[in-house]
Structure 1
Amino acid sequence: MKDTITDNEKFHSIKIAIWLYFFLWIFEGALRKWVLPSLATPLLIVRDPIAIYIIIKAITLNVKFFNGYVVFAYIITLLALIVTLTFGHGNLFVGIYGARIMLIHFPLIFVIGSVFTKEDILKMGYALLAANIVMTLIVYLQFISPQTAFINRGLGGEGSAGFSGAMGYFRPPGTFSFITGLASFYIMVSVYVFYFWLSKERVSKVLLYASTLALIFSLPLTVSRTAVGGVALVGVFAFIGSATSFKKLMKVAFTIVILFLLFFILQNTTTIFNLGTEVFMSRVDTASGQSGGFEESFFSRVVGDFVRPIVNLLKMPFFVGKLGMGTNAGAQMLSGSNSFLIAEDELGRVGGEQGLILGGGLIFLRLVLAISLFIKSIRLTQEDKLLPMTFCGTALYLIVLGQWAQPSMLGCAVLTVGLLVASLNMNLKQE
């Protein structure tokens, strides 16, 4: 116990910085749209100084986060930066902007995994449950308000932040700059909603019930297939992690019944929820018609985002000096346009920026990390499996296919995977 208290005090400053990183992930878009619109561009990297501080502090406090993944990522990224500046586009700022993803954000995964205890993981869950209620109120107001309203103001205070949806309604971004950030937020919230319903952890019932209701209410209003599909996937992993005995199976069945009951009540008593469901299904039908069927709309896109870039990667030159060019900010600096200069999907970006050798190596690194974390989670004892497996429901996707070039998605990936690593290590920390 004495060692645990000492470690908590020792890592206190790092934990505060991680919490600041967490809150800036949620509210970065709000700062860029509503609070400090004139600083929208520099605020794009507002978490970077925090990340650098965490790494420096972790080194000085001898936090064991320099593992094979971090070293391999550093080698690949530094080589890619050298190739970019020597034979590629040659823009130092674009190259550094691209390199920062693996150099200063990726290592945070293992810092969080090393310093966070179970108590820290649960505290972040309580914060997410509370933030979810506020976020849903904002999403509701964005959904019912015209795109000219203040709450739908775009980055820099210009234009609108909503993205095309269906039936004349737009996909709201919440406090984020884009719908992908909001979708990742709700998926992360669902990890804790499912976990607290299925575990014996102490949590305010009022908070859990209110946040669960807010999550169900918000999903149709997002008009986002990613959000709905991601929450469903988290639920599948949570049930796999909890269904280990007849008693647990009954608890899983009870949770499913409660969730469906809440959906049924909202559908039949709330006009806006009913409208949101209609708009969401209209968008699904439209996307399904374009891609060949309902299943295509949700699942084939994920498969395509993995298979297509791998096939294209095999046709790439050994080395490509385009580091940072695949990000929107990099594209803006190089061409003055926010359009994707390489690829919208993550693996396509990585391969297109760095080529067959370095890009392929980075993709391989992320695949190995995802597989390793899943194997460690599934091998845990039954009583320790639920939390890591629930995190796997979103962390594995974020590692392999998450769009790390997008700041909000990068922040979510760092936090979610870091919490997964911490949940795998928490039993060792408590010993």
Structure 2
Amino acid sequence: MESTLKKLVWLYVILLIFEGSLRKWVLPSLANPLLIVRDPVALAIYTAAFFTGRFPRNGFLVAIAVLAVCSVIASFIAGQDNMWVMIYGLRINYGHLPLIWVIAKVLTREDVERLGSFLLIIALPMTVLMVAQFHAPMGAWINRGVGDDAGGQIFGADGKIRPPGFFSFITGPQLFYPLVAAFFLHQISGHRRLWLPLLLACGLAIVIALPVSISRTVMLATGIVGIAFFCCLPFTGGGVNLIRALLLVAIVGVGVSFLPVFQEGIRVFMMRWDTAAIGNDGDAWGSIMGRIMGNFTQPFYWAANAPFFGDGIGVGSNVGSRLLAGQIGFLLVEDEWGKVFLELGPVLGGAFLFLRVAIVFSLARLALRALFTARDNLPVLLLSACAIPIAQNQWAPPTILGFAVLGGGLVLASLNDEEAEDDELAVEDEDEIEVESAEEEPEIEPAPGATPPTLA
């Protein structure tokens, strides 16, 4: 059953990466049902974990259960009685969240590094596909959106869409490449698992994808992982690791600078950057900082103006909009924290957001402890890739939700001490051997007429 659990986790990851391809190209007529294609897998993981005793028990899961029940009650009080909208809202906020701790119970450190190598290899065809989408016309088949929509992708610059790769939209690369970069930087810092030329090719793929994506979020999110990596260097082996890392980064940087596709990607990316600057009085960085600050300040406005019990869970999602208004859109607001306050109200919404932030702080405490005590940078690197998706990003898009829970689960699973687990198993085996030996030891009966021995 344990191997079945691991296979289900792998299936969840594979569907997370390729569900967009299913919705765009393979089964476009089933684009809407495939939106929740990972839900049955998540339920299967929960079921298998429960029956094998691997379903975790902690305060976070109790809080999730309590908040879910309160969300249903608040929705009924608010007058939102559409059960499908309510169920979909519960799915977004609470349905996949326990996977963070289930993944940590199922995967070992070895499994995490093996999964990281898999994602690094996937980055190669992902980047090749993004380059092809980058060069193809906006209306080309390869650039279609979900449901075979000819105009379903987001415009970038210079007549090009923001290439989503295997994903449905650019939100996929925004979360995929920071996570892959975390594994790449971990491997070049002295924990290499892939053949060095293959690892360098993966690094090239990551660097090429950044400008080709025409997405400032991809660039900045991956940059955060890079900053975390350099901050960890003093605690992970000092000069040797620093020299090795800088050398490999230099090789990747020099190699990619000669590629025409990288140079063109930089040109188009800077066009997108300049467009953002024009829309913000010539200050592109100001537009980014304004968006970041707005994500933290606007929710307080919505919290102050939201109904006490909110408008009902699920109302602010696109699916909720379709079910309630007959069209896709935002019935409430687009930013996540504002949506949460308007759906759940200031008290319950604040409690849910506090839970998300508390999860990040809990992961950070454990990751930093591993960095300082075990000189292990992988948990910190993984956390730098998933902290913002867990705490702040929208969870209604399935891809963002999937990477948030996967990233959190990998942070915890990377902390698993496999050697300690092996030692415990070895002790259990020794105990079993001793018990079996005692059971198999024959009893010696005294010979007829002999006097039994006595204690002196």
TM over 0.5: yes
Q: Distance in 2 between matches of 1:259 and 1:34?
A: 36
Matches within 5 A, 1:257-336: 258-267=248-257, 269-291=258-280, 293-336=283-326
Give the Å deviation of 1:156. 0.9
- Of Structure 1 and Structure 2, the greater helix share is in 1
Structure 2 counterpart of 1:114: 105
**Identity of counterpart residues, as a percentage?**
37
Counting only pairs closer than 5 Å after superposition, residues 233-252 of structure 1 correspond to structure 2 as: 233-244=224-235, 248-249=238-239, 251-252=241-242
2:137 aligned with 1:137, yes or no? Answer: no
Counterpart of 1:3? none
Kept in 1: contact 2:78–2:309 (CA 8 A): no
Contact 1:136 1:214 in 2 (8 A): yes
**C-alpha displacement of 1:69:** 1.1
Counterparts of 1:295 and 1:429, CA distance in 2: 48
Q: Aligned to 2:44, what secondary structure does the other structure show?
A: helix
Q: What's the counterpart of residue 17 of structure 2?
A: 26
Return the alpha-carbon distance in structure 1 between the equivalents of residues 392 and 333 of structure 2: 13
How much has 1:86 moved relative to structure 2? Answer: 4.5
Contact 1:133 1:214 in 2 (8 A): yes
TM-score, structure 2 normalization: 0.87
Contact 2:2/2:106 (<8 A) preserved:
yes
Question: What is residue 6 of structure 1 aligned with on the other side?
Answer: none
Question: Which runs of structure 2 are paired with 1:71-82 in the superposition (5 Å)?
Answer: 71-82=62-73
- AA aligned to 1:185 is F
Query: 1:13 aligned to 4, 26, 40, which one?
Result: 4
Determine helix, strand or coil for the equivalent of 2:345.
helix
The secondary structure found in structure 2 opposite 1:147 is coil
Q: Distance in 1 between matches of 2:384 and 2:290?
A: 18
Partners of 1:228 and 1:85 lie apart in 2 by 42
TM-score norm. by structure 1 comes to 0.92
In structure 1, distance between residues paired with 2:53 and 2:92: 23
Relative to structure 1, the CA distance from residue 97 to residue 131 in structure 2 (aligned partners, 3 Å threshold; closer, same or farther) is same
Q: How does 1:404-419 map to 2 (within 5 A)?
A: 404-419=395-410
Is the Cα–Cα contact under 8 Å of residues 30 and 176 in structure 1 kept in the other structure?
yes
SS at match of 1:425: coil
Could you list the per-position Cα deviations for residues 298-340 of structure 1 after superposition, in whole angstroms to 9, with x for gaps in the alignment? Answer: 4442232123213432332321132111211221221122222
Aligned-pair distance for 1:248? 2.5
Q: In the aligned structure 1, how far is the partner of 2:79 from the partner of 2:381? A: 41
The Cα RMSD (Å) is: 1.9
What is the distance in 1 between the residues matched to 2:290 and 2:254? Answer: 29
1:429 and 1:110 map into 2 onto residues whose CA distance is 17
Q: Which residue of 1 aligns with 2:441?
A: none
- State the Cα deviation string for residues 41-86 of structure 1 (Å, max 9, x = none): 1000000011111111111111142321121112112221232244
Q: Which moved more, 1:288-297 or 1:33-42?
A: 288-297
Tell me the equivalent position of 1:399. Answer: 390
**Aligned-partner SS, 1:70:** helix
Q: CA deviation at 1:289?
A: 3.6
Whether 2:154 is the aligned partner of 1:163: answer yes
User: For 1:95-154, what per-residue CA distance to the aligned partner results, in whole angstroms no more than 9, with x for missing partners?
Assistant: 100101243200111000111101110111111011100101110111100122111111
Encode CA deviations 1:253-286: one digit per residue, 9 max, x unaligned.
553454355334433x322221110111121222
1:97 to 88, 100, 104: 88
| Contact 1:161/1:172 (8 A) holds in 2 | no
215-224 or 256-265, which moves further after superposition?
A: 256-265
**Residues 298 and 150 of structure 1, relative CA distance in 2, 3 Å threshold:** same
Amino acid at match of 2:399: S
- Which of the residues 360, 367, 375 maps onto 2:365? 375
Using the TM superposition, give the Cα deviation of residue 296 of structure 1 relative to its aligned residue in structure 2, in angstroms.
2.5
297-306 or 385-394, larger mean C-alpha shift? 297-306
Distance 1:306 1:394 in 2: 19
Q: Distance in 2 between matches of 1:336 and 1:264?
A: 52
Counterpart position of 1:5 = none
Aligned: 1:54 with 2:45: yes
SS, match of residue 165 in structure 1:
strand
Say if 2:379 and 2:411, in contact at 8 Å, map to a contact too. yes
CA distance in 1, matches of 2:395, 2:211: 25
Equivalences for residues 31-42 of structure 1 within 5 A: 31-42=22-33
Q: Secondary structure at the match of 2:203?
A: helix
Q: Do 1:187 and 1:227's aligned partners in 2 also have CA atoms closer than 8 Å?
A: yes
Preserved contact between residue 188 and residue 244 of structure 2 (Cα < 8 Å): no
Kept in 2, the 8 Å contact 1:121–1:423? The answer is yes
Alpha-carbon distance in structure 1 between the residues aligned to 2:76 and 2:20: 31
Map 1:194-273; keep pairs closer than 5 Å: 194-244=185-235, 248-249=238-239, 251-252=241-242, 254-256=244-246, 258-267=248-257, 269-273=258-262
Q: Does 1:68 align with 2:59?
A: yes
What do the CA deviations read for 1:149-192 (whole angstroms, capped 9, x no partner)?
11111111122342111122210111111111121111111111
Could you say if the C-alpha distance between residues 289 and 24 of structure 1 is closer, same or farther in structure 2, counting changes exceeding 3 Å? same
Deviation at 1:237, TM superposition (A): 1.4
Pair 1:389–1:429, CA change in 2 (3 A): farther
> Of 335, 351, 355, which aligns to 2:341?
351
